Structure 1
Amino acid sequence: MADDRRYHMKFGPDAAAHVDAYFEYRKIVGEDDDGKLFTPEEYENYKKTVVTKRMKNRLFVSWTSPSGMDCKMIGPETPCFCTHRYKQHKTDFDELPSERPIMVPCRVKGCKCKSYHYVPLNGSQPIRCRCKHFADDHSEIRPYKCKKGCNCVGFKSSFTCSCGQPTFAHETLIETKEERQARGHPVGYDVPYAAMGGITGFSSLAEGYMRLDNSGIGTPDDEFLNQPIGASDHPFLRMHASTINQIEGGQRRGQITAGEVDQLSDQMSHLKRPGESDMDFYERRYQERQKEQRNRVRAPRPAIKQSQRAVKK
């Protein structure tokens, strides 16, 4: 009986290319085919009519803190307050709307959501309102009244974001490319994919306080990067703190030569030397590891005493 349930599947040499083509199709078309694949002719016509205006009129969506930091960048699969995903909302426009805020209504049949609105999760669970009911127990129409029959007139949660601000202090910001650039935030490259929202790269998937760009916490300043080594630093830095301070202090006072710097740096081969490029550093570390490995192979084995040989026999 077990043999009757076995399936032997064979794939041709072009199978991987077909899978890649399908994923490319799905990222471009999104939900516009209503679950029925376009024919090759329909697919080409779709790209000619939609992709150009999509790359020109892309909307950037983020969940922003009062300080202006984008705590969450919205992507195609990010759920809305109405429980439907961003890709299920209207994201393509022939002309960018002139009124503000920009409305991005849900396209799912029967959904009353007038515009995309992000609500965070507590781990994998929806957050609760002050009325103790979950977000999905509330109406999808502003001000998101509770549907459980309580006196709640609108969803308001005290759940705190990782930035330290409560949920109700944040704003779902929908903006054009020009408006986002005016705020000094990155926009990435123009892409033909549907409902990209605020996703511009892998760093967009991280929370705001972890992103070291203008949309997050920002690049640390020189004062932070050059602060003295303390007890909270990595053990490697604490172990070599005296040598590092000797190099930096001698360079500032002009009392240390380049040869002495190299000599001290040899004691910490894991650190870059002054003026050494990244590629030179990686090549030097690679050659050092190769040399150590060769020396271990060539090292003579310890002699076995005669008594030990007799025991083995």
Structure 2
Amino acid sequence: MAAAASFTIDKEGQAGIDAYWEYKKIVGDDDKGKLFTDAEYEAYKKKWIPIRMKNRIYVGWHNPEKDMDCKLIGPETLCYCGHRYINHKTDFEKIPNPIKQTCRNCACDNYHYIPRNGSQPIRCTCKHFPDEHNLKHPYGCNRCASGPKKCGEFKGSFTCDCGAPTYKHIMVKETKEQRIKRGKPVGRDVPYQAMGGLTGFSSLAPGAERRDPSGIGPNNEVMGGAPIQPGDHPFLKMHAFSLPDRDTPETQQLQRREGESELDYFDRLYKWKQKKGYFLKH
């Protein structure tokens, strides 16, 4: 069997990749597939970055009974219509009331999240999929358009991690000021397009597992009150500072120190685990 081909990228190439990644996060599909010139890119940034810093829309799929953001929406999160959040209007020079985010690729007139069962879309209680329903609210079924069993809205019975069915959730679209007023995290101001409700790595977790103000998360009784160990679940380690045993030596080792680079952090953690005997000896 032939050996797999390998290649290396020099520092100049790495810088080019980083610059392109930054470009796509800022511009998205606004260049319509043709890269902006340097002048066009600078003009784009000069216009839209200040607007994003000021008028960011925080988007989440919310359980109002528990005041929990069960799903925080990011650039790649799919809409009911099948397109990503970044394919919808996310930049506003003036925030409208109500906030409506139309899709650039179809007739969807407002971004709306519908959970998926693994990689598959969930069904409505009428047994039909989202793409068999109307693209506009209240998303009536096109296959049940008439008759005694007419379906006038998409109503999924799929159960969320929070324990409530899909139809008991609502979409929340709010400004930074409104989110702060609700006591929810807003993260840092970033220049990237379609960040929605993402404010950090914990935003990627379901609300029931997220131990921050946007998700209730399991309580200390569920956690068992046990000290955090290096072999514990990543979500426990990620939020170790929010737990009552945060001052244990193990917990302190798991925290990234001020001024410590990511590489130095993982190198220090690896050496500490090695010293403690967490790795099997062959």
Under TM normalisation by the shorter chain, which class is it? 0.7 to 0.9
Q: Residue 200 of structure 1: CA displacement?
A: 0.6
Match of 2:116 in 1: 121
- Pick from 46, 49, 54: which aligns with 1:48? 46
Give the 3 Å change call, closer, same or farther, for CA 42–157 of structure 1 in structure 2. same
Q: Aligned-residue CA RMSD in angstroms? A: 3.4
Aligned to 2:198: 199
Give a deviation string over 1:123-144, Cα, whole Å, max 9, x none: 1100001111111211111111
One-letter amino acid of the counterpart of residue 49, structure 1: K
* 1:178 partnered with 2:177: yes
Q: Which runs of 5+ in 1 are unaligned?
A: 1-5, 237-270, 293-313
Residue equivalent to 2:17: 19
- Structure with the higher helix share, 1 or 2: 1
SS of residue paired to 1:14:
helix
Q: How big is the shift at 1:156?
A: 0.8
Partner of 2:101: 104
Count, aligned residues: 238
Give CA deviations for 1:244-301 in whole Å, capped at 9, x if unaligned.
xxxxxxxxxxxxxxxxxxxxxxxxxxx947xx9936xxx9xx7897599xxxxxxxxx
1:59/1:149 CA distance change after superposition, 3 Å: same
Partner AA of 2:121 in structure 1: P
Task: Mark the CA change 1:188 to 1:10 in structure 2 (over 3 Å): closer, same or farther.
Answer: closer
| Equivalent residues of 2:185, 2:214 under 8 A apart | yes
What is the TM-score of this pair, normalised by structure 1?
A: 0.68
Question: In structure 1, what is the Cα distance between the partners aligned to 2:276 and 2:5?
Answer: 51
Equivalent position of 2:252 in the other structure? 278
SS state at 1:168 partner: helix
| CA–CA separation in structure 2 for the residues paired with 1:145 and 1:53 | 35
SS in 1 for 2:26: helix
State the identity %.
Answer: 53
The 1:228/1:20 distance shift into structure 2, 3 A limit, reads: closer
Indicate conservation of the 8 Å contact 1:59/1:176, yes or no.
Answer: yes
- Cα gap change, 1:291 to 1:149, in 2 (>3 Å): closer
**1:31-70 equivalences in 2 (<5 Å):** 31-66=29-64, 67-70=66-69
Query: After the TM superposition, which residues 67-86 of structure 1 pair with which residues of structure 2 at under 5 Å, given as runs?
Result: 67-86=66-85
Find the aligned partners of 2:180 and 2:135 in 1 and give their Cα distance: 31
Residues 163 and 16 of structure 1: CA distance in aligned 2, closer, same or farther (over 3 Å): same
Which range is displaced more, 28-37 or 150-159?
150-159
Gap runs ≥5 in structure 2 = 232-246, 254-267, 278-282
Which of 1 and 2 has greater Rg?
1
Contact 1:131 1:152 in 2 (8 A): yes
**Cα deviations by residue, 1:184-223 (Å, 9 ceiling, x for unpaired):** 00000000000000011110000001000110115846xx
Matches within 5 A, 1:144-159: 144-149=139-144, 151-159=150-158
2:203 and 2:139 map into 1 onto residues whose CA distance is 28
Match of 1:138?
A: 133
Q: Deviations over 1:213-240 (max 9, x none)?
A: 110115846xx499788xxxx9x9xxxx
Distance 1:43 1:210 in 2: 39
TM-score, with length taken from structure 2: 0.75
